[in-house]
Amino acid sequence: MPREIIFGEITGVQEGHWFEGRKEMMPASFHRNWGAGIDGNGSEGAAAIVLSGGYEDDKDLGDEIIYTGAGGNDANSGKQVADQKWTNRGNAGLLKSMNEGLPVRVIRGYKHKSPFSPTSGYTYAGLYSVVDAWQETGKSGFKICRYRLLYVGDNTERKSAEEVELDLDHNVREKKRVKGTVLRIVRDTKLAHDIKALYNHKCQVCDFAIPTKNGFYSEGAHIKPLGKPHNGDDSLANLICLCPNHHVMFDKGSFSISDNYELLGAESGQLAVHTQHKIDKENLNYHRGSHGYN
């Protein structure tokens, strides 16, 4: 009986935890697939990956990792003999995790070539977000699926993922910071994931779900924003499922929502609200007040 997939931290396994072998990762569902690098699939997402030196194209900069997908390699030699496909079970899983904002546990094995690798066994490197996926021609001449992962765990001794992204060239090579200002940061929470699932990624304003290579993409919008000075909750009563366009418009107050879910401002009609979704009217009131609708 395969154990069910578990996303995020697993009790008893801290960042830096050392495993003697792959087998030890299985009982707690830390990584359930002894033979594969990626634990996951296209319908649920990928929960964990192992970097084990199998792909010469992998890059490991610590808090940023360029990871090569699965498939296309010869079972005996390990050599790339065919193109990798997005439809591969594990590859589709990582795409799903990217679209859904699901955290991926990263494990480094002793065969993986990086300054962070253990000399024997495997170490848990922490939680990462998949922020990009693309295909390119690998050193083998065949197409490989590649993913960019950024560290998003709790360890503040490490740099934050966003800082790494900004500083990467600076720290690693070019001593030059990426210029420019920040327009938007979309962060995803566990509950944002739940609200998106409830609506099958359909925007509650326009009913559009963004199609991707594997499934759909949407964003969980906090009605009363998280963080100071708003201090909104991360709760289903404070979340709605929106497409990026309506998320931008909502956050900027281009439209707001009445207590009976009428759209106000630049949008008209009704917010589609699932019968299981109880929105706290106080949060709607806060949003209206913040953007001049009261």
Question: Strand ranges (DSSP E) for 6-121?
Answer: 18-19, 38-41, 45-51, 59-60, 64-68, 104-109
If we measure between CA atoms, which residue out of 125, 33, 18 comes closest to residue 70? 33
**Window of 25-33, 105-113, 226-234, 268-276 that interacts with a second copy by CB under 8 A:** 226-234
Out of 266, 274, 278, 282, which residue is the one contacting a second copy (CB under 8 A)?
266
CB of 83 to a second copy, least distance (A): 9
Nearest residue (CB) to a second copy, 56 versus 167: 167
Nearest residue (CB) to a second copy, 8 versus 21: 8
Nearest residue (CB) to a second copy, 171 versus 270: 171
221 near a second copy, judged by CB under 8 A: no
CB of 47 to a second copy, least distance (A): 13
274 near a second copy, judged by CB under 8 A: no
Q: Concatenated DSSP letters for 223-264? A: SSPSSTTT----SGGGEEEE-HHHHHHHHTTSEEE-TT-BEE
How far is the C-alpha of 212 from the C-alpha of 193, rounded, in Å?
17
How far is the C-alpha of 138 from the C-alpha of 83, rounded, in Å?
9
Site for a second copy in 21-50 (CB under 8 A): none
**Window of 10-18, 24-32, 48-56, 150-158 that interacts with a second copy by CB under 8 A:** 150-158
Judge contact between 93 and 67, C-beta under 8 A: no
Rg (the chain; Cα; Å): 21
Query: 19 — phi, psi (to 5°)?
Result: -110, 140
CB of 22 to a second copy, least distance (A): 25
CB of 31 to a second copy, least distance (A): 19
How far is the C-alpha of 248 from the C-alpha of 152, rounded, in Å?
23
241 near a second copy, judged by CB under 8 A: no
Site for a second copy in 90-129 (CB under 8 A): 98-99, 101-103, 127, 129
Residue 99 DSSP SS3: helix
**Window of 43-51, 71-79, 136-144, 277-285 that interacts with a second copy by CB under 8 A:** 136-144
Site for a second copy in 166-205 (CB under 8 A): 166-170, 172, 177-190, 192
Out of 248, 264, 272, 273, which residue is the one contacting a second copy (CB under 8 A)?
248
Whether the upstream peptide bond of residue 229 has omega within 30° of 0, thus cis, is yes
